[in-house]
Structure 1
Amino acid sequence: MDDDGPFVETSITARLRSCKGDVMDRWARRVLEDPRAPRAQRPAGPLLAREVPALFDDLVEVLSASRRAEQRGGEDAELRCAHARVEEHARRCAAQGRCIAAALRELSHLRAALIEVCVEQGISLGVSEAQVIHAAVDASMWTSALEIEAATRAALEDSGALLRLATRAGGVGVWDYDTVTGKLRWDERSREVAGLDPASEVRYDVFLAAIHPDDRERVQEAVRRSQTLESGGEYSIEYRLVGLCNGVERWVAVQGRTFFDAEGRSVRMIGTVIDVTERKRAEAARREELVRRGRFMAAFSHYLRTPLTSITLASRMLTHHGNLTPRQARNAERIAASARRMARTIDDLLDLTRSRCGANGIPIAPRPEDLHALCKSAIDELRAAHPGVPIRLDLEGSGAGLWDAERVAQMVTNLVQNAVDHADPGSAVGVTVRPREGDLLIEVHNDGPSIAPELMETLFDPFHEAPAGGRTSTGRGLGLGLFIAQQIAKAHRGEIAVESTAARGTTFTARLPRTGEAAGS
């Protein structure tokens, strides 16, 4: 340090160093009291809390180097080095990904706090010192801006490239709609899906013209709804487009989001469009196939019912009026039992068809009924059909509610029949009906080998026949019982769950709401 170094150190720079704590406190207070600062930031403190103390020291060094350079007659290497240290701190701020607006505000507060303390402490800053402070802080702010801008631009370019790659690979189109100016932008894929050539101008009226006339009003309503705050800005819809230049009809799935200003007005919509024509065609083909199957099953069941009715009536007449020997009576009863089993099989096949072809599954007609009475009637029939299997019925609370009596009885019969088929020989099947909040639970329990975990996922699938203890169901034979029981529960807005362990046996629990509101109504 040259001869005038001590004089400089004991003047402005020494006094500024002694005021460092005051400057830091004032700076932090200004930052946190700034109304533009995010509320979430205030408990955590300033963003640049670690960098600014060292930056202050470098500013004081710049002042000292500037004074010595001035006394020596001009700028020198020492001053340039001091300035470089200030800018290096700014680069570290930028490298940490700081918000550019917040970083610039905090640096400007540092300059203001430093000048305020100088005024209050009577530290007289000459024109050169003031210029040094402003120049150093401005340089650091400018460096921060450049570093953050470059990092942001690079990140945006990378994100844009990845987005373009992903949308191109997935056949996704991207669109952007300025709801204030009405300007609409479509990328190449969006234009292709709409049958619009790359050179044509895209306007909102052009977009509307591309929509199939039968879908246009529905799409306009969805757009209007998405531009209200109540909708949350969500825009999701499928509709048909008719190519503006080629007349090709396509189905598209469109997703988007609306952005709002501070006053809740929509200002912009951004979203994607995907061509789902092939999926829609496959769905239509499947619906047509299901309709054909349904018609075939209806005709087939009608064809079977006519001779089956004759068989049932004949066996009944033989039983009551045929003066049969005991052996003949047993054979007549076997004929009647087989006819009943065939009738139930036909009913199950029709229910399977209804569940797959109907929009809401198996149709039901809920009415005020007593679930206890329905279950008791179904259990009595099962006891008569299985005299060797004890079936216990426990009823708790009230069974009042809205149910489709015939369907609920069918569901209970299927669940209990399944339990009878898979229970350990000589063991009892337990049925419990109890309330839970606004629902009624029907629990059907049997002791026996547990259901294998790998079978649980397909247990309610149609035509599923789960073996248990080396035996299979002797009931319906087609494996539709559990499937139809589940569909009946769903039609009542309920569900069926199952628990099965070797120690506690197997329990099917059907939950039915008392309201009886049909699913899809």
Structure 2
Amino acid sequence: MNGALEEPASRLDLETVQLEVVWNAPIGIALVDQRLQVVRFNRALAGLHGLRSRAWPGMSLAEVFPAEEATRELLWRIQQVLATGRPFPWLELEWGRVSCHPLHEGLEVVGLCLYVEEVPEPKLAREALQVSEERLRMSLASASIGTWDYNPATGEFLCDSRTQALFGAPPDLRMDCERFFSIIHPEDRERTRQLVQRAESPESGGGYETEYRVIGIQDGVERWLSAQGRAWFDEQGQLLRFSGTVLDITHRKRAEASARFLSEASRLLAERLDRAEEILERVARLAASSICTYCIIGVARADGRLPRVAAAHREPSQEHLVQAALRFVPQAPGTSPLLEGVHTGKSALIREFTQEVRQRYAVSPEHLALMNTLDAHSVMTVPMRAGGKVHGMMILAACAPRRRFDDQDLSLAEELAHRVGMSLENLRLYEEARQAVGLRDEFLSVASHELKTPLTSLKLQHALIAKSLTPECRASLGARLPKAMRQVERLTTLVDSLLDVSRIGAGRLGLEPIEMELTGLLREVMERLSEVFAQAGCRVDFPATPPVHGYWDPLRLDQVLVNLLSNAAKYGAGKPIHVRVAVEGEWTRLTVRDEGIGIAPGDLPRLFSRFGRAVSERHYGGLGLGLFISKQIVEAMQGSIRVESEPSRGSTFTVELPLCPPA
């Protein structure tokens, strides 16, 4: 039957049409005579067009289709089928589509067969649109996005409830452009106005995207918003509409600002370890310029007292007030709630610093009057904890009329206080270490001086014994006395090194520079160490070099040369040592290269440190002070010393010294 309906019958023979099948077909079907009157129609067509009777009335097609302009065109097309006998497959209309085919009796067209399909009714479309809009509203709400729309013709500025809330406005407040710009933060207002004006120009493409701060109209809360929008224009370039969205990004912006603040605070805290007052003053000033209006920092003593250390105010004109407030910060334990955090280690967030709360914190009527002058509306007291103890207290106050601290502010303040506490703990440990180093250097100095006296006496006694020995006694002693004398010399060298270390630690390594010649001193040192080279099996390669004159301390330079050459013999035993001296401009360069065991890359950074060693003390001995002292001497003469080395390929030490005396 479906095929029969799609392929027109050869003649209008109603008896051959299976009426029941036509009646139940899912597509609308109508049989029409030459007068365009309906002879038959089925259930689907009746349902589409509200035809209630199953009877086959002879109604006109004009009564079946909707009365509109498109129906007149449809009827004209149907008449053309009657006239020409040529069908039209499908005619798309607003409410549906129609296909019309001729019915023939011989060559004559005696009627028409119409197939009708209808699109969803406008009601269904409206319902679908409402569902879509509701889904959009739910999506925007879940994303915390607000929408707005501006009509330049009427000046109407429409905002949804979310946008009203982000603007801190009551739901019934009518917005306009001027009121919108008035709530933007003063620092962002002009920039935002320029962006909006640019978007209202057709040449810009109408796009608008920016971030700005707003101050709530009713609640006074500062919020960061991310705004996007688009302007629409007519063919003449006139602005028709401007609409967009706003998204609350306050949390992200505050997190970014907190990270920048803590990074800057950490940089300040890491600059120095010996000037706590100066660093805390800078931290207080940083806090006052970023997260609060004024900041006071006190460091706790062992007895629980809280002496004032640092204070700062954001406004220079109010600086004297916060400095005056320092006089009223209680110092004795138990005298004010302000010090509770020192004893409990807990922070306090006072969201509303009311008159009643101020009276409770004030230590005198003058203090209360000063509090009222400063007029803080919200206060945080945060202990500075580290190393299991409280090092002090930070007091942060907000004086802006609608500024109130919240839990996020308290977390930021606690992190700052923790870092300040860690810095104070490091300062304490550093001071203890410095004192311990001072005591050690003092002990080394005293011990070295005490050892020098018996060593000097021992050397003198050895010399007298050597002179008084008869040839027979000298022959019987053999090499014992020279060995004893060498051990005394070695012990003297070690004591001198310890004494130099104590002098360096105390800043008393003195120099007595004179005009001298380097190559002659170098050959003298090599001659003095000839026995050391012989015992190590090292040949010294030092070619003839012209004299090099400079302004140095000969005794200290001698000490550097002895250290470098003796180390080369010690660690390059059995292999040659290469020594070179060259002059380049205003500098002379001395290099000592051995072909010994070399130094591992990981040991190079600490080679010139105090007691720094790159080899086993058990196998090579020594205190690890020679290179440290040499570096201090060279740098005291405005020079430099460095090393290049590879394991099993030897080491090259380079000393560079200025030829002229320092200015």
- Is 2:445–2:498's contact at 8 Å kept on the other side of the alignment? no
| Residue 343 of structure 1: aligned partner | 492
**Distance between the aligned counterparts of 2:307 and 2:485, measured in 1?**
69
| Equivalent position of 1:76 in the other structure | none
Counterparts of 1:372-387 in structure 2 under 5 Å?
372-387=519-534
| Kept after mapping to 1: 8 A contact 2:513/2:553 | yes
Query: For the residues of structure 1 that align with 2:500 and 2:586, how far apart are their CA atoms?
Result: 28
Task: Provide closer, same or farther for how the CA distance between residues 398 and 251 of structure 1 changes in structure 2, counting only shifts above 3 A.
Answer: farther
* Structure 1 residue corresponding to 2:199, chosen from 100, 107, 120: 107
Q: 2:529, 2:480 → 1: CA distance?
A: 21
Q: Which residue is 1:423 aligned to?
A: 572
C-alpha distance 342-167 of structure 1, shift in aligned 2 (>3 A): closer
**CA shift in 2, pair 1:164/1:424, >3 Å:** closer
Stretch deviating more after TM superposition (333-342 or 318-327): 318-327
- What is the one-letter code of the residue matched to 1:410? Q
Q: Is the 8 Å Cα contact of residues 295 and 312 (structure 2) preserved in structure 1?
A: no
CA distance in 1, matches of 2:486, 2:613: 22
Partner residue in 1 for 2:343: none
**Closer, same or farther in 2 for the Cα pair 1:493/1:278, shift >3 Å?**
farther
Task: Spell out, residue by residue over 1:396-427, the C-alpha distance to the aligned partner (whole angstroms, 9 max, x if none).
Answer: 566232222211111111011000011142x2
* SS class of match (1:484): helix
Aligned with residue 159 of structure 1, among 252, 256, 276: 256
Aligned to 1:287: 434
- Structure 1 unmatched runs, 5+: 4-61, 67-98, 115-127, 213-244, 253-271
Query: Which residue number in structure 1 is paired with residue 133 of structure 2?
Result: none
Q: CA deviation at 1:185?
A: 7.6
Q: Is the 8 A contact 1:171 1:189 kept in 2?
A: no
The offset of 1:188, in angstroms, is 9.1
Of residues 580, 595, 602, the one that matches 1:447 is 595
Residue 381 and residue 390 in structure 1: after superposition, are their counterparts in 2 closer, same or farther (change >3 A)? same
Q: 1:187 aligns with which of 288, 292, 308?
A: 292
Give the secondary-structure state (helix, strand or coil) at the position aligned to 2:551.
Answer: strand
Paired amino acid for 2:601: P
The residue aligned with 1:489 is: 634
What is the rounded CA distance, in whole Å, between the counterparts of 2:496 and 2:446 in structure 1? Answer: 13
Match of 1:414 in 2: 563
Instruction: Determine the C-alpha separation between the residues in 2 that align with 1:312 and 1:500.
Output: 38
Q: Deviations over 1:232-265 (max 9, x none)?
A: xxxxxxxxxxxxx99x99899xxxxxxxxxxxxx
Following the alignment from structure 1 to structure 2, what is the Cα–Cα distance between the partners of residues 358 and 517? 23
SS in 1 for 2:538: coil
* TM-fit CA distance, 1:321: 3.3
The percent identity for this pair of structures is 22
1:233: which partner in 2?
Answer: none
| Residue 310 (structure 1) aligned with residue 457 (structure 2) | yes
Alignment counterpart, residue 328 of structure 1, candidates 469, 477, 484? 477
How many Å separate the matches in 2 of 1:430 and 1:471?
A: 27
After the TM superposition, which residues 259-298 of structure 1 pair with which residues of structure 2 at under 5 Å, given as runs? Answer: 274=420, 276-298=423-445
- 3-state SS of the aligned residue for 1:306? helix
Q: Separation in 2 of the partners of 1:251 and 1:417?
A: 54
* 1:392 matched residue in structure 2: 541
Matches within 5 A, 1:197-216: 202=313, 203-206=318-321
**Retained in 2: the 8 A contact 1:369–1:403?**
yes
Q: Structure 1 residue 347: deviation in Å?
A: 0.5
Alignment deviations for residues 109-157 of structure 1 (CA, whole Å, 9 cap, x no partner)? 546999xxxxxxxxxxxxx979981444xx26xx4xx65xx57756534
Distance of 1:338 and 1:131 partners within structure 2: 105
Partners of 1:429 and 1:447 within 8 A in 2: yes
Q: Given residue 406 of structure 1, which amino acid in structure 2 is its aligned partner?
A: L
In 2: Cα distance, 1:210 partner to 1:436 partner:
63
- Paired residues of 2:594 and 2:651 also in contact (CA < 8 A): yes
C-alpha contact 1:497 1:508 (8 A) present in aligned 2 = yes
Contact 1:421 1:472 in 2 (8 A): no
Higher strand share: 2
How far has the Cα of 1:315 moved from its partner? 1.2
589, 602, 625: which one aligns with 1:480: 625
Question: Any conservation in 1 of the 2:579–2:593 contact (CA below 8 Å)?
Answer: yes
Q: Is the 8 A contact 1:441 1:510 kept in 2?
A: yes
Structure 2 SS opposite 1:294: helix
Distance 2:554 2:323 in 1: 50
Q: Could you tell me how far 1:280 is from its partner in structure 2?
A: 2.9
The answer for the alignment partner of 1:229 in structure 2 is none
Shift of 1:385: 4.1
Which secondary structure does the structure 2 equivalent of 1:457 belong to? Answer: helix
Decide whether aligned partners of structure 1 residues 412 and 196 sit closer, same or farther in structure 2, where only a CA change above 3 A counts: closer
Whole-angstrom CA distance in 1 between matches of 2:196 and 2:529:
82
Rounded Cα–Cα distance in structure 2 between residues aligned with 1:391 and 1:210: 74
The amino acid of 2:526's aligned partner reads I
What's the TM-score once normalised by structure 1's chain length? 0.53
Matched to 2:454, the amino acid is: P
Give TM-score, length-normalised by structure 2.
0.42
Number of residue pairs matched by the alignment: 339
Name the CA distance, whole Å, in 1 between partners of 2:325 and 2:642.
48
Change (3 A) 1:277 1:420: same
| Structure 2 unaligned residues grouped into runs of 5+ | 1-68, 71-150, 154-190, 207-232, 270-279, 300-305, 328-366, 368-380, 385-389, 394-415
Change (3 A) 1:186 1:303: same
Q: Is the 8 A contact 2:518 2:548 kept in 1?
A: yes
Query: Comparing both chains, which one has the higher relative contact order based on Cα–Cα distances under 8 Å and sequence gaps of 6 or more?
Result: 1
Match of 2:654 among 473, 486, 509: 509
Contact kept in structure 2, 1:449 and 1:505, CA below 8 Å:
yes
Higher helix proportion: 1
Shift, 1:314, TM fit: 1.4
3-state SS of paired residue (2:589): strand
State the alpha-carbon separation in 1 of the partners of residues 312 and 528 from structure 2: 74
Matching residue of 2:99: none
Structure number with bigger Rg: 2
Match of 2:627, as an amino acid?
L
Structure 1 residues 170-192: Cα deviation after superposition (integer angstroms, max 9, x where no partner):
998965689xxxx9787399434
CA change 1:102–1:280 in 2 (3 A) is: same
Match of 1:368 in 2: 515
Conservation of the 8 A alpha-carbon contact between 2:568 and 2:594: yes
Aligned AA (2:604)? M
> Is residue 234–residue 240 contact of structure 2 (8 Å, CA) maintained in 1?
no
